Structure 1
Amino acid sequence: SFRGYRDIIKLEILKSFEKGIEINADIYKLGESLYRQNPRKWKEEVKTDSFYLNEHSIKNLKVKVNLVNSGKLKNQDGS
């Protein structure tokens, strides 16, 4: 089921994001994305004395899984 993969991947992304916040690192370059989409908002966010990301910075996360190969190989006889 793809749902199980999506849940695992989503959890790993969020855990990595939180670890990055602990060391004031923008590991997914969200600040760069904001700068490119809305430079004025980016300037407001980085003016503060504290790091511009926090645990509430990701409000919604969608994960789409496209499984190309399950990792299992079939024998040439079809089994």
Structure 2
Amino acid sequence: MGLVVFLAFSGLGGLATERWTLLVARFVTGVAAAFMTPAGLALATGAFPRGRNAPGPWAYTPASARAASRRSASRR
């Protein structure tokens, strides 16, 4: 359900011609993403065995976000 709402309002945001429409679409998309996050984390947690190597995927996530933010900041 969250994915359907996310996709629908993402499309609505892409087609928005008014600022308020874009704002509402972005807000609803963010709420839908927040509802989908636990499911994604559950899938990622179940895919990796518990043990010493399990934190590997979790270490990659902040590192990739930091790299992406540096890249977008350098374009400004």
**What is the TM-score of this pair, normalised by structure 1?**
0.31
Higher share of residues assigned helix: 2
The normalised TM-score by structure 2 is 0.32
Higher relative contact order (CA 8 A, sep 6+): 1
